[in-house]
Amino acid sequence: MLSRHARACWTLFGVTGYARVDFRVDEAGQPFILEVNMNPCLTPDAGFAAAAHEAGLTYRDMIGAIVEAPLGRLRAIA
């Protein structure tokens, strides 16, 4: 459910790079979106890297994906 909300935020705000959507979930399991951070900290010990790790990405893979994404978009329009 949280990934669906994060993707909806991605679409709503027209995110084209990387971003972090911050949530809080109440006792009833209802999520609340706190913010869409369009420029999250990318240090290895920051929340963005921790979320990438939870998704199965190494830090190196995460940085590679961030760098490769716009290159793929450029190749698609070239």
Provide φ and ψ at 33, rounded to 5°: -80, 125
Sign (positive or negative) of CA dihedral 8, 50, 46, 27: positive
Residue 70 binned pLDDT confidence (cut-offs 50, 70, 90): confident
pLDDT digits over 42-68, tens only?
999 999 999 899 999 999 999 999 998
pTM equals 0.74
